[in-house]
Structure 1
Amino acid sequence: MNALKSEIEGRTVIYGNALKLFKHAGMDIGGGWEYDHGMFDTILYKRKETTIYLRVPFVVTKGDLDSSSAIIRFQTPFIIKHVMNIGLDEEESSTMTVTGLEQFSTPEDPGAHIEHKDEFAIDAHKKLDQIVEDATFSAV
């Protein structure tokens, strides 16, 4: 995981507005969200079992995340490498795992070193700068 300096960190926004803004930038809300926190993410690079993600975590400061009127504050964005574990898992569907379609498989190395991280950081910063430029953030 590599933290990124960005003007988005510490900014607050209405969740529904952020959702539209991030979707427009090609980012989605990650599946592991809770009522009090979550993250937007996108794939920067994918080849075979390796995927590099840009993730923008946030906390809910008012309301719950299931409401578009919730207020969120962004935390430090980061890039992370996920190397999918293609092996069989007795608790998962063997067909899904063998074909590589098991999206919830545990990564082989959660803290994997990111080669060419400076290049991915440049791409991530471009996307973050676009979001900040397009956004109307306020201290709600």
Structure 2
Amino acid sequence: MTYPDQRTEDEWRAILNPTQFRILREKGTEAPGTGEFDKHYPKEGVYTCAGCDAPLYKASHKFNSGCGWPAYFDSVPGAVTRHEDRSFGSVRTEIVCSNCGGHLGHVFKGEGFPTPTDERHCVNSISLKFSPEDKVVEKSSKA
């Protein structure tokens, strides 16, 4: 699949630190409970892709799942693309940034969390940046 942001691997290496590159570009995973945003619960703001800064999740989408990674029940419409992941001998749904293809984590359904979608987007903190301003609203209000 192709994505709008078509940087080369060398260009990604120039802007990402080695851990960000391993996770975003090589589909790695950070250790549970170690990420900057695992226990981060602002009332407002937007989590963006650490690679390309595309808005991915609103702060209001975040919830405490206790899984050790940031969890969101939904994404900004069109911001996240889903792929079947058959690594590690099981079938999971990988989620990537729809703008650059950067690996975010996985989405799980039907776990019984009291959220509007019954989904858990389990995202690596290192795949994200946070902005206290709601970039999604700002963008749409300029249209």
After TM superposition, the score normalised by the length of structure 2 is 0.24
After TM superposition, the score normalised by the length of structure 1 is 0.25
Structure label with greater radius of gyration: 1
